[in-house]
Amino acid sequence: MRVSLTTSHNSHRLRALAIAAIGSSAFALASPSAAESGAAIVDFASEFDAEFDRGGGHGGDRRDITLLPGDVEQFAPAPDAVTVSSAAPLMALQGKALIPPGPPEPISTRLVVSQFVDLPVAGDANDTVRYSGRADAYIDIGGSNFGLDDSWQITLRPEFTWGETSNGAIGLIPNNTALFRPEGAGDFDLSASISKRWKSGTKLTIGKINVLDISGALPVVESDGHFGFQNLGLALPPTAVVPNTLTGVQLEIPTKKFIYRFWVFDPDSQYERTGFETAFESGVAFMAAAAYRARIGKLPGIYNVAIVGSTRDTFAVDILPRALTPPPQPIASFGNESGELALQLSAYQFFKMYPEAPGKGWGILARFQASRGDPTFLDYSGYFGISGNPRKRPQDRFGLAYFQYSLTDELVDDIAFRLPIEDEQGVEVFYTLGLNKNFGLTLNAQLIDSAVEFRDTGVLVGARLTAEF
């Protein structure tokens, strides 16, 4: 639910988006042989499709906050009026005058640019300082530009990366989400989709979709490569079923207590493709999810369950690094099964919110997923931690979390002669200093016990400067 709150005491406007949830997944692994190139396999998931204030000083007087039914008084005391957008249902805003929404912007643009430096300080990786960057443009064009109304929208998502990271130098899971990509892929991609949203809030999207955008909307986590956690194991919780960029159809149906999501898509990664090259040649993938919008006391939370699968009859050849590719059949046992199925459970709950800083606070994050294995190359994964804003500097943001991931046993056995593999686990901690409404400086440290058995536990430190316009 999109809500604008205005008061007679000041002219600041608080923009709030209700929590939307999806349960899908992704996985990215960097080939050990491509440690210096940052090449990665990609597949990820996220549960929520909404915007949240990322806590780094971004947004200025405009704050994106999480609103549940009845939360108006909690987040913005005693507003004189509430404006409810036609883009979502009118939910539980009793006692406030409902003002008809203004027309949406016919064209909106946003640019986010991040520059990274990182340095391995322990483990087997070379202690070399590496520099890299990523730029993302977000362009939404309303239907009024094409003779329709603005319930229709075209979304364009160009992205560009450059430089060198330590992805693959310590762990298999890339430690820099912003720089993950299929092995051997280039630095530029463009996604394009069209969507229709009805007054009930139901939204239908068709086209090529960059799923990375949705991960930044996870409440509490709020990580998308530019903001929040940097390791892919936390920023893009994986199942190895959903590609990083997909072609398909997404349906979102919000209700008072639940948000339901249904996806049908091509299981092959569409990175640097138009979406027509593969044309479902590897099968059909799907996702069904239900997110419950809960409250503990007056504090909002989201609890999500999702089922993801596909009719794929072999493993994801296009996103599995060559170093992890098993021998051909019948020598190998992995890859001789058909059909994928994975279950995801996740919880994101605020434990403290600050009345003097609407939308700011801290909470816990937790997630677990498991698949039936072959032909999915990841059989289980999970994480838990805390993240949020310090009370004395709510424009800043912090996070601390543990993660663990496991490759499917059959795949581990098949490549043991070439590369001995075990579970990968690690801890990440970050702190973002909000310099002003456009710039944030993040310091990051990761301790990673690599899935590659002969590698020592590594420690990586880094810095990220992010600009948002």
Q: So what's the pLDDT on residue 112?
A: 97
* Virtual torsion, Cα 271, 277, 279, 281, nearest 10 deg: -90
The answer to whether residues 293 and 68 touch, using CB atoms and an 8 Å cutoff, is yes
DSSP bridge pairs for 39 = none
| Number of Cα atoms under 13 Å in the Cβ half of residue 100 | 2
The answer to whether residues 52 and 217 touch, using CB atoms and an 8 Å cutoff, is yes
Q: Name the token pair of 65.
A: 């906050």
The percent of residues in the chain predicted with pLDDT above 70, rounded, is 78
Kindly tell me the burial class for residue 46, based on how many C-beta atoms sit within 10 Å of its own C-beta (0-12, 13-18, 19 or more): buried
**Mean pLDDT over residues 251-256, rounded?**
94
Mean pLDDT, all residues of the chain: 79
- Look at residue 213 and tell me whether its pLDDT is greater than 70: yes
Kindly tell me the burial class for residue 70, based on how many C-beta atoms sit within 10 Å of its own C-beta (0-12, 13-18, 19 or more): middle
241 vs 293: CA distance, rounded Å:
26
Helix (H, G, I), strand (E, B) or coil at 15: strand
- Give the CA angle between residues 184, 193, 308 to the nearest 5°: 70
467 vs 469: CA distance, rounded Å:
7
Helix (H, G, I), strand (E, B) or coil at 452: strand
By DSSP bridging, strand 258-265 and strand 285-296 are antiparallel
144 vs 157: CA distance, rounded Å:
20
250 vs 193: CA distance, rounded Å:
11
The amino acid that residue 157 corresponds to is R
Q: So what's the pLDDT on residue 98?
A: 40
Count of beta carbons in the 10 Å neighbourhood of residue 317: 12
The answer to whether residues 11 and 60 touch, using CB atoms and an 8 Å cutoff, is no
In CATH terms, 2-468 corresponds, of 2.170.120.30, 2.60.120.10, 2.40.160.180, 3.40.1350.10, to 2.40.160.180
Q: So what's the pLDDT on residue 13?
A: 34
Which uninterrupted H or E stretch holds 140?
A: strand 130-142
Q: So what's the pLDDT on residue 237?
A: 73
The answer to whether residues 287 and 263 touch, using CB atoms and an 8 Å cutoff, is yes
The answer to whether residues 268 and 55 touch, using CB atoms and an 8 Å cutoff, is no
Q: How far apart are the first and last CA of the chain?
A: 24
* pLDDT tens, residue by residue, 410-433: 999 999 988 999 999 999 999 999
Task: Kindly report the pTM of this predicted structure.
Answer: 0.78
* pLDDT tens, residue by residue, 24-35: 333 333 333 333
By DSSP bridging, strand 14-17 and strand 64-66 are parallel
Q: So what's the pLDDT on residue 211?
A: 83
346-383 burial string, b = 16+ CB within 10 Å, else e? bbbbbeebbeebbbbbbbbbbbbbbbebbbbbbbbbbb
88 vs 118: CA distance, rounded Å:
42
Residues 6+ apart with CB under 8 A from 397: 54, 55, 56, 222, 227, 228, 387, 388, 389, 430, 431, 432, 434, 440
- Look at residue 340 and tell me whether its pLDDT is greater than 80: yes
Q: Name the token pair of 229.
A: 């956690």
Q: So what's the pLDDT on residue 298?
A: 87
| Number of Cα atoms under 13 Å in the Cβ half of residue 121 | 11
Q: So what's the pLDDT on residue 92?
A: 30
* pLDDT tens, residue by residue, 353-396: 999 999 899 999 999 999 988 888 899 999 999 999 999 999 99
DSSP annotation string for 279-323: TTTT--EEEEEEEEEEEETTEEEEEEEEEEEE--SS--TTTS-GG
The answer to whether residues 230 and 444 touch, using CB atoms and an 8 Å cutoff, is yes
Rg (CA), the chain: 21
* pLDDT tens, residue by residue, 120-132: 999 988 989 999 9
410 vs 461: CA distance, rounded Å:
34
* pLDDT tens, residue by residue, 167-176: 989 998 899 9
The closest alpha carbon to 178, from 218, 217, 134, belongs to 134
Helix (H, G, I), strand (E, B) or coil at 429: strand
Residues 6+ apart with CB under 8 A from 268: 243, 278, 281, 282, 316, 318
The closest alpha carbon to 182, from 357, 316, 313, 381, belongs to 316
- Look at residue 285 and tell me whether its pLDDT is greater than 80: yes
40 vs 459: CA distance, rounded Å:
20
347 vs 301: CA distance, rounded Å:
7
Q: So what's the pLDDT on residue 104?
A: 60
In the chain, helix, strand, coil percent, each to 5?
A: 5, 45, 50
- Look at residue 2 and tell me whether its pLDDT is greater than 70: no
